[in-house]
Structure 1
Amino acid sequence: MEFPANRPDLPDILVEEDLGSEDTPRELQFFSRGIMTQSLMRLGLPPERALELVLSIKSELQERGIKRIPHSRLRRMILERLEDLEPEEARYPDRFRYLEEQGGALVVLIGGTTGSGKTTVAVKVAHRLGIEHVVGTDSLREALRSAISPGIAPALHESSYTAWQTLAKFAGDGPEVQRMGFLEHARPVATGINGLLRRARAEDVRIVIEGVHVVPSLLEDTFREAPNVMMAVVNVPDEEEHRERFQSRSYEKSLRKSAAEYLKHFPAIREIHDFIAEDAQKHGFPVIDSRDPERAAALIIERLWRRILAADL
């Protein structure tokens, strides 16, 4: 777990590596409040709580006049404070050790329909976990469209909420057809998501994947069951509030055309919204209200950690 850094905000305190000799001097790094706080946020600590812990360490070091501290001693100070944090069942010290021992291979998938707020929540989750890679499933869809013609996969070349129209000639219309069309649209993209997950596992990569195509039933069992892979769906419980999100976009000239399109197809968007939520619940994954993105991100991270620790890794 990272807590020193190469830029000082406490220029009089240095962290030294434990390994070294007279011939090979120990590497020194500056104690960085910012980097250390970010590292503790990966444990699921709220930003203000992580900063409070770091400041308590800073205060103790300064009061004791410590100018140089071994890495192992700083680690012990962190663990001592984590031991005192409540709730006890959160097991923050075990989270800390997991990141040290497992290399921090964390994967989060966030699903949700158009206008659900999934991208906003995904970015916040990635920031708190210190994950640089946020992949939108729309990019996978576009790559697949260039490789698969409309004649082979017509639903793929439609929007998630208009894909049902490719079935209308044979199946008519209505909520069930909208769901069927969405699945036809999402299934090829889910294949790409599974490929991304296999690569992340092989290369020990931390990643957040977000998009309407994150449908638990379309993902491989091995990923649905992996302790370090967390899936969640964000939703907007109030239908009118969901609609208003698109209406508010219509006031911005650059978004007016897309807003009108979304409002036109809102019934299908809402049907997909409900379907994805039902699918997540069926497989035991949480459906989280996105109206407070910070809270939603915190809940997803907490569920991830409890999932990891329940597996006794």
Structure 2
Amino acid sequence: MPDKKDSENNSTEDKMQTSDSPETNAQGQVIVVSEEKIGLPFSKGILASSISITGLEIVLCHKIAYEIEQYLFEKKLKTVAIDELRSIVFRFIKNYVSLEYAEKYLLWQSVGKLKKPIVLLIGGATGVGKSTVATILATRLNITRVASSDAIREVMRATVSDKLIRPIRGSSYNAYQNLTLPPVGVNPVILGFREQVMAVIVGVEAIIKRSIEEKHDIIIEGAHIVPGYMEIEKYNSKAIIQEIVITVPDLQVHKEHFSKRTIETQGSRPMHKYIKHLDKIHMIQKYIEKLAKERSIPLINNYSLDNTVSEVLQLLFDRVREEFSRIRS
């Protein structure tokens, strides 16, 4: 049976566990957050999510959101303007953490004023953790659209004529098996990969263009997001576009990634399927790294998931800050 202290701790944790449902105090009071003529019930779950964009640990974000909720109830507010709420959040983050994180929060809350969608492109060889990083970032950034270049390839396989489909058969690391002509002067693994990328990138660009036209934020990840195969600079005037490459240089760590993938997919993507091709996967990784360095695309070593996510968030903050600076100048 838990002692009193444990019960009190559990009670506090229960209060901080949040959902997207409206929050009420003991008297059933609901606080409405207003923006122009629209009003929505305050939710500390949504607030904690918006704070987590800064890169703070999610537990701390929930704690700050909980304290803000208590503050609003103590003030007996029935409504709070969105700008006023953001000022309150800024003050709490500054007091709990630092001015740096408080400014990050306000900066990201202002992104909508740019009237540009965010397009985040995450490249890297098979098994480096692209999809995991993309999923976490989508949650942190409240981006509802995440696309995989593997999924794009599968759609193209199902819709493109069999005569044109050869380059996109198989995976990125064994595409060389479907080369139409024998390679001359180029490693067949790299040549096969290049042909597949050039085919799949057509679908990737179509999705980017559609997202920009509809002004929808999107994250696109996959082995086919390779530096130099798209002229992303042409989208800079219409979108906040950021390309990154994730790597895992250490072979043993890379093997562990595949082991985790096998468990997470309940064996549908068995480890041995990739391990036997690990030399080819690393050959492709070195090719991607070389292109990234030549084009000054950020390379992130995924030795720690938390650090990787934090690095990507910082790159996005820097990109947004540059955009605001450009507008002011």
Structure 1 counterpart of 2:195: 184
Is contact 1:9-1:32 (8 Å) kept? no
In structure 2, stretches of 5+ residues that fail to align are 1-18
2:227 is aligned, of 194, 210, 216, to: 216
Matched, 1:163 2:163: no
**How far has the Cα of 1:273 moved from its partner?**
1.6
User: What is the rounded CA distance, in whole Å, between the counterparts of 2:185 and 2:171 in structure 1?
Assistant: 16
1:14 is aligned, of 26, 31, 39, to: 31
Structure 2 counterpart of 1:32: 43
Matched, 1:143 2:155: yes
1:198 is aligned, of 209, 219, 241, to: 209
User: What is the rounded CA distance, in whole Å, between the counterparts of 2:144 and 2:265 in structure 1?
Assistant: 32
User: What is the rounded CA distance, in whole Å, between the counterparts of 2:236 and 2:158 in structure 1?
Assistant: 32
Per-residue Cα deviation, 1:181-201 (whole angstroms, up to 9, x for no partner): 101011111111111111111
Structure 2 counterpart of 1:309: 321
Residues 108-119 of structure 1 mapped to structure 2, 5 A cutoff: 108-119=120-131
Matched, 1:87 2:100: yes
Return 193-202 or 289-298, whichever deviates more.
289-298
Q: Secondary structure at the match of 1:217?
A: coil
1:61 is aligned, of 52, 55, 72, to: 72
Q: Secondary structure at the match of 1:229?
A: strand
Matched, 1:154 2:171: no
Per-residue Cα deviation, 1:116-168 (whole angstroms, up to 9, x for no partner): 11111111111111112111111110121223344334221132111223449
User: What is the rounded CA distance, in whole Å, between the counterparts of 1:252 and 1:30 in structure 2?
Assistant: 36
Q: Which amino acid aligns with 1:196?
A: I
Return 289-298 or 146-155, whichever deviates more.
146-155
Q: Which amino acid aligns with 2:69?
A: K
**How far has the Cα of 1:83 moved from its partner?**
6.5
Seen in structure 2, the aligned counterparts of structure 1 residues 222 and 180 have a Cα distance that, compared at 3 Å, is same
Q: Secondary structure at the match of 1:108?
A: strand
Q: Secondary structure at the match of 2:245?
A: strand
Q: Secondary structure at the match of 2:267?
A: helix
**How far has the Cα of 1:16 moved from its partner?**
5.0
**How far has the Cα of 1:180 moved from its partner?**
1.8
2:279 is aligned, of 267, 271, 278, to: 267
* Dislocated runs of 4+, deviation >6 Å: 248-254
Per-residue Cα deviation, 1:62-99 (whole angstroms, up to 9, x for no partner): 33343443444323323445677433796542332223
Q: Which amino acid aligns with 2:106?
A: P
Seen in structure 2, the aligned counterparts of structure 1 residues 30 and 240 have a Cα distance that, compared at 3 Å, is same
Return 114-123 or 33-42, whichever deviates more.
33-42
Q: Which amino acid aligns with 2:321?
A: L
Seen in structure 2, the aligned counterparts of structure 1 residues 292 and 152 have a Cα distance that, compared at 3 Å, is same
User: What is the rounded CA distance, in whole Å, between the counterparts of 1:271 and 1:67 in structure 2?
Assistant: 61
User: What is the rounded CA distance, in whole Å, between the counterparts of 1:13 and 1:122 in structure 2?
Assistant: 35
Return 73-82 or 270-279, whichever deviates more.
73-82
Matched, 1:128 2:143: no
Is contact 1:14-1:30 (8 Å) kept? yes
In structure 1, stretches of 5+ residues that fail to align are 21-26
Structure 1 counterpart of 2:249: 237
Per-residue Cα deviation, 1:42-68 (whole angstroms, up to 9, x for no partner): 354442443344234223323334344
Is contact 2:90-2:102 (8 Å) kept? no
Per-residue Cα deviation, 1:202-240 (whole angstroms, up to 9, x for no partner): 101011111111112112233675661122122212012
Is contact 2:22-2:30 (8 Å) kept? no
Return 117-126 or 226-235, whichever deviates more.
226-235
RMSD: 3.3
TM, length-normalised to structure 2? 0.78
